[in-house]
Amino acid sequence: MRAFAVVLSAAAVLAAQGPTELWLRGYSVIPTPQRVECAAGEVILDESWRVDARGLSAGHIAVRSLAGDMVEFHRLALRTGSGPRVIRLRTKPGAVETKAEPLVDRQAYRLRVGEDLIEITGNSDQGLFYGVQTLVQLVRRDAAGRLLAPRCVIEDWPRLALRFLHWDTKHHQDRMETLKRYLDWTARLKANMIAFELEDKFEYPSHPVIGAPGAFTTAELQELVNYGLERFIQIVPDVQAPAHMAYVLKHPQFAHLRADGNNYQSALCRPETYDLIFSMYDDVVKATRGVDYFFVSTDEVYYAGIESDCPRPYNPVNRSLTWVEFVRKARDFLAARGRRILIWAEYPLLAEHVSLLPPDVIDGVIGEEEYLEPERKLGIRQLGYVSMQGSEYLFPDHLPGEEGGGRLAAAYEYLCGGRHWRGNPIGVFGAAWDDSGLHNETFWLGWSAVSQWGWNPCTVSPEQHAAEFMRLYYGPQATGMVEIYRTLQRQARAWQRSWERVVSRVRGPGYGNSYGKGHGTTRYDLTLEAPATPELPDLKLSRRLSEKYGERFREAPARRLENDRLVHALQENIARAERNRYNLEVLLALARFIGGHWRLLEAMADAERALVQAEAAAAKGEAARAVGHLVAAHNAISRRREANERIFAELTAVFEKSRFPKGRSVGGRHFVHVLDDTKDHWADRTPDLTFMMAPERSIGLDEWLRGVEKAARSYAAAHGVPVRGLAAPRPEE
């Protein structure tokens, strides 16, 4: 499911899209509407305009959204009542003829912008709400400070009914106010589904031990669901089971349900496993009332039916049948509770067994080409699945760069021409996996792209979309944001490459994958070697780090200068941005974190040069100079380590403005930390956020500092010279 693959077809290999008509006129809407007819001229919006919402319920979300966002985005306070110019809001079934299924048709709207009248008519309340989002985005301010909208008629509806954005909370828990803000922006992008991968961030009243300390309560999750439903967004729970269940099986109470004795997967031949999983489902259903769907996460169930007490032999056929049996039982359990299920149809499912699936399931990934024909015969619907993040550290590969064409371009091609179009698609899914612990604020460009091409595929090039997103998300005063993203991406990939990948010192071998038990089990950590410690009595160096890391040391100054420019550009835009400044604060914290690494590499190079000079001075009998060089080497690393720890503390503080502390303790309960048994997740190496500093801390520089200090003091004492200016030692971790 998580593979970042692109299936190209003739429809997907398209010439670059030219700019849309609205964009050429200086206007922007995400997602791009289906039909736009523009006339010459523009309409000026000011305080003379009134909102006519007669016929709508009191406090209708479309009216509130129009009033609130016009103030927030454009500083224009609209009032209700009569006036010379009117924005009229209405619903009328069939106002826009779509010839689409009801799930799509009710999302349609018409927007007419005229001299004295702006009309927004929705086929339903949902369509009206989407029309309001379009008007708010369409309005822009000209050089004279006037608010303008183009004279136009827009008729619009989505190509696909369900547009999923993915909230993965394996390695963090967002604050409630953060998630409500995410829902506000999801609504502005006209996405209408959230796949909320809860893992242990929900309380599970039937088994409280599963919920992490401080996990969302039933009331809190329902509050969040209600907030989304008012904005026509369903928060669809995604409960990882029967695989990826370490968050459950790590607890001693459930150890007897481990398949093959491993934390990764539950034993599907034991009735108690179903009792456990379905009780978790029931808990979540009761906390998400009003939602129509449920994600049954049949994700990477590599070894279905492997336990020794299974009645059938363990082989590919029975493995597939065991998987199908789970899906069928989950479907029946959840259908009885009013939920339609989505599944990841993938290995170990055999194509010959697709016909055994319930026809009302939705296939979220289409794991094999061979699934399509039997799915068509059954009437199974599909999602177009794209991954906007999964493996990159610090910042996603949104844009074309040194590592390839970028996730935006891949998503554009797949959502335009992927194999879901050869089935009967109902929606799209924009994954943003938390495997590498990235802050969700780094995902919005990818999420917006999925909304864009789920609503209106094959329109708006990735380049135009990136430009439109920056204008919408940060406001038109922000400058150079695409280049900021590109530079941050380039910096993050250079940071990732600059480390050595070594066999993990903290993680044991993995359980295996679809190729078999034990396959692909090597785990890696990021680290570097510390400089050599000078040896007494003559301060000889046993090795030269520059011989191994010369290229890294030579690259660091240029990367640091690029990082300096990035930091300055972000600082400027924090002042210029009209909205989402916190997002820029996150990006700035990441940039400073990366910049500290380049300075550390420079400090390591400087320290080694000083050690070489100390060795040379000692050989000449210049003891005072030798000690001075040792002090210089020590201080170069010591001061940089102190600075980098401060930078990390600042980054943690920024992250925790929107998130709870990772792996926190609450009410006397402590987080139970285990390492994932299959995936090489960067973010699960530590229970807290220190996984980000683990590479630097693993070098052993603090121990090296103590060794250099000891050598300096011993050498100085032996030669009767003082030690001056030595930085205070760091406390031991």
289: pLDDT strictly greater than 60: yes
Q: What is the spatial distance between Cα 556 and Cα 38, in angstroms, rounded to a whole number? A: 52
pLDDT attached to residue 732: 60
pLDDT of residue 3: 40
pLDDT at 119: 98
Which pLDDT score, from 0 to 100, does residue 506 have?
72
Between these two residues, 674 and 467, which has the higher pLDDT value? 467
Least reliable range by pLDDT among 109-118, 149-158, 402-411, 673-682: 673-682
Beta strands 425-431 and 162-168 are parallel
Q: How far apart are CA 235 and CA 244, in angstroms?
A: 21
* pLDDT of residue 15 exceeding 60: no
pLDDT at residue 370, as a whole number = 97
The model's pTM is 0.95
Angle in degrees, 0-180, between the axes of helices 444-455 and 407-417, rounded to the nearest 10: 20
Residue ranges per structural domain of the chain: 32-156, 500-508+524-659+681-719
pLDDT average, residue stretch 24-44: 95
* Residue 448, amino acid: S
Nearest C-alpha neighbor of 617 from the set 606, 631, 605 = 631
Categorize the per-residue pLDDT at 659 as very low, low, confident or very high, splitting at 50, 70 and 90.
Answer: very high
Q: How far apart are CA 389 and CA 431, in angstroms?
A: 7
> Are β-strands 162-168 and 193-197 bridged in parallel, bridged antiparallel, or unpaired?
parallel
Helix, strand, or coil here: 36? strand
Instruction: Tell me what the mean pLDDT of segment 172-191 comes to.
Output: 98
- Closest CA relative to residue 210, chosen from 257, 247, 170, 184: 247
pLDDT in tens, 329-382: 999 999 999 999 999 999 999 999 999 999 999 999 999 999 999 999 999 999
Peptide bond into 359 cis (omega under 30): no
What does the pLDDT read at residue 685? Answer: 87
Q: How far apart are CA 419 and CA 376, in angstroms?
A: 12
Task: Find out whether 623 and 715 touch, Cβ atoms under 8 Å.
Answer: yes
Instruction: Name 75's Cβ contacts closer than 8 Å, sequence gap at least 6.
Output: none
pLDDT band at residue 501 using 50, 70 and 90 as cut-offs: very high
Q: Is the pLDDT of residue 571 over 60?
A: yes
Which residue in 186, 193, 165 sits closest to 30, CA to CA?
A: 186
Integer Cα distance of 81 and 704 in angstroms: 74
Q: From the centroid of its chain, how far is CA 469?
A: 16
Q: What is the pLDDT of residues 86-117, one digit of tens each?
A: 999 999 999 999 999 999 999 999 999 999 99
Neighbours of 373 (CB within 10 A): 14
Q: Which residue, 77, 15, 18, is CA-closest to 46?
A: 77
Q: Which residues pair with 517 in a beta bridge?
A: 512
Helix residue ranges per DSSP H, 533-580: 545-576
Q: Whole-number mean pLDDT of the chain?
A: 94
**Does residue 509 register a pLDDT over 90?**
no
Query: b/e map of 556-585 (b: 16 or more CB within 10 Å)?
Result: beebbebbeebbebbeebbebbeebbbbbb
Bridge partner list, 87: 51, 118
Structure tokens at 295: 């994600």
pLDDT, residue 5, reads 35
The least confident of 55-59, 207-211, 436-440 is: 55-59
3-state secondary structure of 383: strand
pLDDT over 70, % of the chain: 96
Q: Looking at residue 327, what is its pLDDT?
A: 98
Q: What pLDDT does 10 receive?
A: 39
What does the pLDDT read at residue 8? 37
| pLDDT above 70 (res 420) | yes
Domain 32-156 has CATH 3.40.309.10: no
Say if residue 16's pLDDT is above 70.
no
Residue 529, pLDDT score: 97
Q: What is the pLDDT of residues 436-456, one digit of tens each?
A: 999 999 999 999 999 999 999
